[in-house]
Amino acid sequence: MKILILNCGSSSVKYQLFDMTNETVLARGLVERIGLSGSVLTHRPAGKDKVVREAEIGDHKVAVRLCLEALTDGEYGVIKDYGEIGAVGHRIVHGGEFCDSVLITRETKAIIGDLVKLAPLHNGPGLLGIEACEGILPSTPQVAVFDTAFHQTMPPYAYTYSLPYDLCRRHHIRRYGFHGTSHKYVALRAAGLAGRPLAELKVITCHLGNGSSITAIKNGKSLDTSMGFTPLAGLTMGTRCGDIDPAIVTFLMEKEGLTPADMDQLMNRRSGVLGVSGVSSDFRDIEDAMAGGNERARLAWDIFVYAVKKYIGAYTAALNGLDVLVFTAGLGENSPAVREAICRDMDYLGIKVDAVKNQVRGQEKDISAAGSRVRIFVIPTNEELMIARETLAVVRAG
């Protein structure tokens, strides 16, 4: 079966077409600047040069149609017609209390729509992508794969906030967690590399990038995760503040005359590594600035590393031990320096990195030192493949 994967943002659509007989990518692409001037589609057929096409792309329906036209084009397409697409899998960031991927129905769409208020930048575009496919591929089954679903196994004591209980129930306030598709994929790969069933392992997965989260996985299930009600919680990130004293919010609003929208922008767009360093939200720029003696860049780096170490320590306690530690996503996969800094002085937990093995970027590798009680892996994440697998399973289940 061939499965199309769509990841719709507010002004973009990423896509990949998989042949699930051997899990190969036939083509991938990106539509950018939807609804803006200078809209462009970049299409990359497997084994061929990329194709760049500029067009007026007013909405997501036009964007999805352009993706499908590229896939079926006589010159650079990879399928003959739309009928070869057996299913469409959508990455949906917020799935509320959905505990698994689901076939998209009228009821599913209504729930995704209701959750737009919790993830307006993500669920709204996701719903537009679903509706675009309904119009163009009306008989093709569609599946929603939720970033939050993997974390629905968290126990109540891990996901409940200490606010008035009835208030939380009324407004669906709880820890949801995100990056679940990535955490699930790399945990499964880690179990394969370790040669043991995931159901027997205690695993901590570190998805480190511009957006970062850490998850504790016990017996194959998410026990706890660092992101919360929204992706703002947890670690210091590229532009997000992560965990702070909540009283700071009302204090700054009063002192600076900020509206709720202003405060939201400050915490999501102007904080984190960018806010502390004043240099950049990109850790490559932070490393360069540190090398030049920039103390604020060094402070931002130290804050991030310290936060990751604290979560690893806390989650090792929650798991009652640790078998496997995984680094993934842009920073986790590509920065030997950040991996070394995080694992430094963690030998009391049995975490020891081999300095030579650690010099790897974007490749799957065991970087554990001799004598390390914990297996340490670098595993490039592949959320699109995970979405394709989930989509195939849902469609086969009917």
Q: Which residue shows structure tokens 């430094």?
A: 344
40's enclosing H/E stretch is strand 40-45
Fold match flag (2-146 vs 196-383)? yes
Active site residues: 147
Question: How open is the CA angle 343-384-135, to the nearest 5 degrees?
Answer: 150
Please check whether residue 386 is in contact with residue 149, taking contact to mean a CB–CB distance below 8 angstroms.
no
Q: What is the CATH number of domain 2-146?
A: 3.30.420.40
CATH of region 196-383, choose from 3.20.20.70, 3.90.1150.10, 3.30.420.40, 3.40.50.300: 3.30.420.40
User: Residue 120 pLDDT > 80, yes or no?
Assistant: no
Query: From CA 345, how far away is CA 112, in angstroms rounded?
Result: 44
Q: What is the pLDDT of residues 130-143, one digit of tens each?
A: 999 999 999 999 99
Structure confidence at residue 296 (pLDDT) = 97
Q: What is the pLDDT of residues 319-356, one digit of tens each?
A: 999 999 999 999 999 999 999 999 999 999 999 999 99
Query: From CA 228, how far away is CA 235, in angstroms rounded?
Result: 11
Q: From the DSSP assignment, how many helices (H) and strands (E) are in the chain?
A: 14, 14
Other beta carbons within 10 Å of 58: 12
Q: Return the SS3 of 234.
A: coil
Contacts of 345 by beta carbon, 8 Å cutoff, 6+ apart: none
User: Residue 317 pLDDT > 90, yes or no?
Assistant: yes
Query: From CA 49, how far away is CA 211, in angstroms rounded?
Result: 31
User: Residue 305 pLDDT > 90, yes or no?
Assistant: yes
For the chain, give every domain's residue range: 2-146, 196-383
Alpha-carbon Rg for the chain, nearest whole angstrom, is 22
Structure confidence at residue 59 (pLDDT) = 86
Residues 43-68 have a mean pLDDT of: 91
Residues 205-213 have a mean pLDDT of: 95
Structure confidence at residue 115 (pLDDT) = 87
pTM of the predicted model as reported, rounded to 2 decimal places: 0.92
Please check whether residue 319 is in contact with residue 223, taking contact to mean a CB–CB distance below 8 angstroms.
yes
User: Residue 60 pLDDT > 90, yes or no?
Assistant: no
CA 240 from centre of chain: 15
